[in-house]
Amino acid sequence: MKKKVLKKGSLNASFVNKPCIYAILDVNDIPVYVGKSKNLRKRIDVYFYPNSCHNSLLRDFLLSNDLVIKVLEYNPPNLNAAEKFWIKKHKKTLLNLVGGGDQNWRHHTRKPWMANQSVKCPSDMLLRHLKNRKLKGYEGIKKDIDKIRGAMNTKERATYEVMLAKNNYPAFMKPIEKWLNYTEDRLVEALSG
């Protein structure tokens, strides 16, 4: 089967004009998402606009990794049945399954500070807190923090999140404990590497 690294405009028309079942692969060529599409080019375009992605686990994964797509089956007689077959075949590693998605996501992501879709990292907790308090200038603060976080390498970002966690914001104690339960081992590994 054909495999392509997703870069805007990198797929030719013959690759995308047929209905198909496709997989998004992680850096080890392990499927993390299986989907169906009647027009793969349009479907792929969604992944270049992460805010429109319907699956938050997948969106976070895509933001931190290179996209690799592989067509698993061209022109299946029944797209829904074929998608169910391929999801069942790869169910242990997929982010688009409701049942073990968080564990799979933590396994595939390169972001050691991320816990899962419901447990946010300390900087996201702080931003949510500021937003909820209707702080004047919130959008500018969020933009600045996002810019700073985006410029950090993995070790710097892990250090930043741990430093925020250590500031002992009383409102965040329970969420931070929960966050540390999910991320501690991966954070230690990132900080010692």
Q: Which domains does the chain have, with CATH numbers?
A: 3-108 (3.40.1440.10), 122-192 (no CATH)
Beta bridge partners of 70: 3, 23
SS3 for 58-96, per residue?
HHHHHHHCCCEEEEEEECCCCHHHHHHHHHHHCCCCCCC
Residue closest to 126 by CA, chosen among 115, 136, 135: 135
* Residues 36 and 80: beta-carbon distance below 8 Å: yes
Q: What's the average pLDDT block by block, 10 residues per block, for the chain (193 residues)? A: 46 62 82 85 67 56 70 90 90 63 53 69 85 84 86 86 81 83 82 78
> In this predicted structure, what is the pLDDT of residue 101?
47
Q: Quick one: pLDDT at residue 81? A: 92
The residues with which 31 forms a beta bridge, in sequence order, are 25
Residue 59 has, within 13 A of its CA and on its CB side, a CA count of 10
Which DSSP state fits 23? E
Indicate the helix (H) or strand (E) that contains 34.
Answer: strand 31-37
Type of residue numbered 33 = Y
pLDDT value for 77: 92
